[in-house]
Amino acid sequence: MTRGMTLIWKFNVVLVGIFALGFLVTGYISYAVLQSNAREEILDNARVLMEYALSSRNYTNSQVKPLLETQLKYTFLPQSVPAYAATEQFNDLRKKYSDYSYKEATLNPTNPRDRAADWETDIVNQFRQSLGRLELVGERDTPTGRSLFLPRPIQIKDPACLACHSTPEAAPKTMLDLYGPANGFGWKVNDIIGAQIVSVPVQLPVQRANRTFQVFMVSLTAVFLATMLMLNVMLYSLVIRRVKRLSRIAEEVSLGNLEAGEFVTRTKDEIGVLTEALARMKASLVQAMKMLEE
């Protein structure tokens, strides 16, 4: 009994050690992969929203603004400005998804609501210092939780934009009546005057990744425990029980009890070979004892 339990104990110690190592390695790799996938999902969402804003700008500039050209001579309509239209449409989206945000953060904007905050100013300056850079990715804490932000530079590439932003004298009078002559001027071709910034929450994708990780690790533990139980049953039935019987008979024979039992096997595995060897040894011992008695 003691020998059998000792063998099982040693077997389980080795098995638990192997599992612990595999558990740690698998856990580390799976957690890293899931977190990476969650971040890629967040980033993909941000890029989709950025393209949505760009599509809104293009639609306003190509289809809405031409229809309002006559009216713009008498009244300046912010709705004809692509940046205004994209922001307004995104604000409507935020009625259902309040954690998402879009802003055309500008250092010297015509519309005061587009003025860049301190952290947004830092982003615009990064684009100005790294000309040719088309995108940044970062994270920051917000009142609603951790948020990933995706900025792209706003660069004046079309000279037509300067009709409203070169000097107050060249700007439409209707625009000056609405916003005044103090802001939104002095822009030049190829200047980076701001950044389009999309912000998306990271909480939900990360939570899903964490839940998936927990389910995976719990499932892995359950599979290990079931496997360990089946291996213990198999080890006991195929090895330990048979070895215990052999050791009991061998011990009785060693004490002189030649009627303790027979070494019988019906298998040809290693234990079966050992059983046959013990049977031959017992037969030789019995014959030797008979010869001594004669």
Low-confidence ranges of the chain (pLDDT < 50): 1-4
- Could you tell me the pTM of the whole model? 0.73
For residue 81, give the amino acid letter. V
Per-residue pLDDT at 4: 44
Query: How many CB atoms within 10 Å of residue 132?
Result: 6
Separation in Å, CA 122 to CA 2, 149, 195, 208, 219: 72, 13, 10, 32, 46
Per-residue pLDDT at 287: 76
81-121 pLDDT, tens digit each: 889 999 999 999 888 988 899 999 999 998 899 999 999 99
In the DSSP assignment, the letter for residue 112 is: G
- Cα–Cα distance, 24 to 234 (Å, whole number): 27
Per-residue pLDDT at 5: 53
Residue with structure tokens 């804003």? 53
Per-residue pLDDT at 71: 80
Per-residue pLDDT at 276: 78
Per-residue pLDDT at 258: 67
Pair 262, 253: CB distance under 8 Å? no
Pair 246, 274: CB distance under 8 Å? yes
Pair 194, 116: CB distance under 8 Å? yes
- Cα–Cα distance, 175 to 192 (Å, whole number): 22
- Cα–Cα distance, 76 to 110 (Å, whole number): 13
Per-residue pLDDT at 40: 93
For residue 24, give the amino acid letter. L
